[in-house]
Amino acid sequence: MVQLESDGMAKMSVLAGIGLAMAIAGFVYGVVAVGVPAQDPTPAQADAERFNLALSGWTMAIGGVVMVAGVVGMAVAAAGRPSGRGV
């Protein structure tokens, strides 16, 4: 188990977790909301599918960016933390 000694490290790991959750939620929303597209949709159905796919894609993209920001923040917090070894 990794011990989070730094407050910044803990915050960044929460940020990475939120980003991962957002990306998964966007994927699940896309599968649930659109699933298998209708074979011959009406214009209203086609518009709804496009909207739901766009919303799903943006949610996954923003979640990915938030997750990467959290991982980079964790790396920066780990680099700034003293190693604890007497050198």
CB atoms within 10 A of CB 42: 9
Q: 10 CB contacts (<8 Å, ≥6 apart)?
A: 4
Would you say residue 56 has pLDDT above 50? yes
Model pTM above 0.95: no
The answer to whether residues 33 and 57 touch, using CB atoms and an 8 Å cutoff, is no
pLDDT band at 83 (very low <50, low <70, confident <90, very high): low
Q: How confident is the model at residue 42 (pLDDT cuts 50, 70, 90)?
A: very high
Q: Which two tokens stand for residue 82?
A: 């003293």
Residue appearing with tokens 């939120």: 18
Domain ranges of the chain: 16-79
Instruction: Report the pLDDT averaged over residues 17-42.
Output: 92
Tokens of 61: 């993209």
